[in-house]
Structure 1
Amino acid sequence: MSTNLNNALATKPHYPILDGLRGIAAIIVVTFHLTEPLGTGHLDILVNHGYLAVDFFFLLSGFVMGYAYDDRWSKMTVGNFFKRRIVRLQPMVILGMTLGALGFYFTDSTLWPLIHTIPLWKMLLVMLIGYTILPVPLSLDIRGWEEMHPLNSVGWSLFFEYIANILYAIWIRKFSKTALGILVVIAAVALTHLAITNGDVSGGWTLNVEQVRIGITRTMYPFFAGLLLSRIAKPTQIKNAFLWCSLLVAIVLYMPRIGGAEHLWMNGLYESVCIIIVFPLIVYLGASGVIQSQRESRICKFLGDISYPLYLVHYPLVYFYVAWISNHKGVTIAEVWPYALLILIGGIMLAYAALKWYDEPVRKWLRKKLA
């Protein structure tokens, strides 16, 4: 890619409020993972819909992808596009997998009784595969949770993010608005069917047919709805958009389970409405928002800066927390919250340190090498 194109892409105006919302969602994901081990299943987790943040991330990604790249293809090759995506995504993937590997043998827990029997070569093999974000087969499930990425659970969503990026670059970017609209409608129907049939959209992190189907279904609608939104939306000027959009994101993700075990379809319907209607509305409002002050600008920038690093580094910390809870049966939220708060604050600090001392310098170096 030419230096001029790099500069053009780097200096193109962006949406600071969307950056801030990404950070809000990332923090809520951490709170979801911190309350998840206190529940007995999907029906009673305190942060019950926190996993929908992933679907929100996909929609944000599709919107930003269309805004950043749709009008650049006359000057940019598919290969250059993938170089940019690798430079953006892979450094933190590698750090996240490395942190997961470093902590692997130290998470003593009744949940993972066989961890210390896993040979070092096998753990290192899983780590190296994780560096590529390719999923590992169940034969390499060294933690026993049937995850694509046993060293850092959240890697599964990055795998599907890459699939969406590949589909966009080699094929779907060429779609007209009408063709893209048809694809988005079909994807919305598939998502609604999944949500109502299963009671929720949670899943996608195991390398088997059913879970990969869930992952693809969760990715296709929000990512390409975001792309369509970037092509058809005409942002206006909305005051206090960051505040109202942040509240909407929090309400959606902190909403308790709906319908209970007797009416699973009700919760599925709720999640369908959130992903198909509410999330695009939030992104549109955020894109239309006007920053009200320097303070708000700094908050949005900070939240946007730490969002991706936080997502990639927090789960290796969560493994220790989950191990502690599993070894102290019956602990309550009143007993756990100081540790949870410590993990949350520590995760944010680790994310900021990773951003400044690792991610930004590595990406700067890679951009020079690949320019």
Structure 2
Amino acid sequence: MSNTSDLDLTKDAVRVDRTSSGKEHFEVLDGLRGSAAFLIVIFHLFNYSFGWDNALSLVRHAYLAVDFFFGLSGFVVAYAYDDRWTRMSIPQFFRIRLIRLHPLVLLGATLGLLGYIFDPFGKAINHTPAPMLLLAYLTSLLLLPSPPVGGRHNETQALNGPAWSLMQEYLGNIAYALILRRLRAVTLGIIFAVSGLLLIWVANVRGSLDGGWGYTEIWMAPLRLTVSFVMGLWLYRIQSRIRHPKIGLLVLSIVLIVVFQMPKFPSVNGFSLNGLYDVACVLFIFPLIILCGAHSKAGAGMMRLCKLSGRLSYPLYITHIPFVYVISNFAGTRHPGKLVLLAWIFVVLPLAITVAWLALKYFDEPVRAWLTRRYGIKRAIV
């Protein structure tokens, strides 16, 4: 969804932000994608470091950012491509999406491998035979489920845990190109409703929607994708029929923070209030945020922040986890005091953001520009 041009942000701040195909960007949605990615990093840093039931376990529901991403993707993919199928083939669509997404998949897998090998605090647990580690790296490059490696939590993407949602993103794009784009809004609404009912049942039984990233609950990944991605497609198709307030990036980002920061709720009379809260966010709160953000303008003062936030969101999401593993292993092996650990987190956080920026400027954008020129694809990447 980020603009791949190298226009000067200052000069462009007061202009309407458009893709190369002439469509306006949803600048507030760009900014919200960045806000959600930043909150995911906070979630991983604090919960991996301090444990999952601690006063410093911040934004405990931020795993729902994945569902928010899926919803955003469905909405924006429909906006970008629904009206282009008379002049675009399925292979061309796949090529565009691969160029948009896969360079950072390769970089994320490589950083994950390097972090695994050179983690100074993980030597006692990061034990994996070289052939198995190589296989895990190769499968990560292809965004396929990888074999488990020592020192990880049985994740389907052992070297770069967050990449599990990118694998689902690919499946969503394939389903859109082959089937979903052909369906009417009412059919998409029915799919959303039926899958949403199943999600309610799962959330109540499991007590949470935090699942899909590991082998033990891998079946949750396609369910979470289906609900939110189809919801995004459906919202785009019906948006003109819905009245919605125009709310800017700052307020909507605060809403996300509040939603993610809520405590873990107990179970009452056989009902998991925590699971039901999670599913209420996915089925009701996130659609409202997307609709409000899609029809809001950033304004000249916030445009640069929205664009920067949107551009950084994907690099930050896909490259940050090696830093989380290192500081988590530091906490687990050295047992530092809370103040020391907090100090290190506030060193690691800007470092992770800096690496994401460098990855964007000196790898992702140049590689995507070269591939676009090489394969003659019009630059209409969302």
Q: TM-score, normalised by structure 2?
A: 0.88
Equivalence for 2:171: 163
Q: Which amino acid aligns with 1:123?
A: L
1:272 maps to a residue whose letter is V
Does structure 1 conserve the Cα–Cα contact (< 8 Å) formed by 2:246 and 2:292?
no
Question: Deviation above 6 Å: which 4+ runs of structure 1?
Answer: 260-264
1:236 and 1:289 in contact (8 A); partners too:
no
Q: Aligned pair 1:92/2:104, yes or no?
A: yes
Distance in 1, matches of 2:348 and 2:271, equals: 32
Question: Which residue of the partner structure matches residue 316 of structure 2?
Answer: 310
The answer to whether the Cα contact below 8 Å between 2:59 and 2:257 also exists between their aligned partners in 1 is no
Partner Cα separation in structure 2 for residue 189 and residue 129 of structure 1: 33
Q: What is the deviation of 1:179?
A: 1.1
Q: CA deviation at 1:222?
A: 0.6
Distance 1:49 1:356, change over 3 A: same
Q: Distance in 1 between matches of 2:353 and 2:225?
A: 26
- CA deviation after TM superposition for structure 1 residue 262, in Å: 8.8
Count, aligned residues? 357
Q: Percent identity among equivalent residues?
A: 37
| Structure 1 counterpart of 2:207, one-letter code | G
**Letter matched to residue 118 of structure 2:** F
Q: Deviations over 1:285-337 (max 9, x none)?
A: 001112222x30000001001000000110011111111010133733x3322
Q: Distance in 2 between matches of 1:261 and 1:323?
A: 36
Question: For the residues of structure 2 that align with 1:42 and 1:53, how far apart are their CA atoms?
Answer: 19
- Is 1:15–1:287's contact at 8 Å kept on the other side of the alignment? yes
CA contact (8 A) 1:81 1:169 kept: yes
Alignment of 1:313-328 (within 5 A): 313-328=319-334
Among 13, 24, 29, the residue aligned to 2:24: 13
Identify the residue that residue 123 of structure 1 maps to in structure 2: 133
Instruction: Return the offset for 1:343.
Output: 1.6
Q: Tell me: CA distance 1:321–1:124, structure 2 relative to 1, closer, same or farther (3 Å).
A: same
Distance 1:309 1:33 in 2: 16
Residue 347 of structure 2 corresponds to which residue in structure 1? 342
In 1, the alpha carbon distance for the partners of 2:189 and 2:245 equals 26
Higher helix residue share: 1
Distance in structure 2 (CA, Å) of the matches to 1:309 and 1:8:
19
Unaligned runs of 5+ in 2: 1-17, 377-382
Compare 72-81 and 23-32 and name the one that shifted more.
72-81
Distance 1:237 1:181 in 2: 19
Is it true that 1:359 corresponds to 2:370 in the alignment? no
1:157: how far off?
0.7
Structure 2 CA distance, aligned partners of 1:290 and 1:237?
Answer: 13
Post-superposition offset of 1:107? 2.3
Q: Secondary structure at the residue paired with 1:51? A: helix
Q: State how far apart, in whole Å, the 1-side matches of 2:54 and 2:329 are.
A: 22
Identify the residue that residue 194 of structure 1 maps to in structure 2: 202
1:297 to 297, 303, 319: 303
- What is the distance in 2 between the residues matched to 1:364 and 1:49? 36
- Give, in angstroms, the shift of residue 258 of structure 1: 1.6
Can you list the C-alpha shifts for 1:18-73, whole angstroms capped at 9, x where unaligned?
00000000000000001112454468733210111111001000100110011111
- Once residues 285 and 240 of structure 1 are traced to their aligned partners in structure 2, the CA distance between those partners, rounded to angstroms, is 6
Specify which of 254, 266, 276 is matched with residue 261 of structure 2.
254
Aligned to 1:225, the other structure's residue is in SS state: helix
**RMSD over aligned Cα atoms:** 2.2
Alpha-carbon deviation of 1:243?
A: 1.9
How far apart in 1 are the matches of 2:35 and 2:196?
A: 25
Shift of residue 218, structure 1, vs aligned partner: 1.1
- Provide closer, same or farther for how the CA distance between residues 315 and 40 of structure 1 changes in structure 2, counting only shifts above 3 A: closer
Bigger shift: 307-316 or 284-293? 284-293
> Which residue in the other structure is 1:3 paired with?
none
Going from structure 1 to structure 2, the CA distance change for 1:245 and 1:307 (only over 3 Å counts) comes to same
Relative to the length of structure 1, the TM-score reads 0.90
Q: 1:11 to 1:347 in 2, by over 3 A?
A: farther
- Relative to structure 1, the CA distance from residue 264 to residue 106 in structure 2 (aligned partners, 3 Å threshold; closer, same or farther) is farther
Partner of 1:230: 236
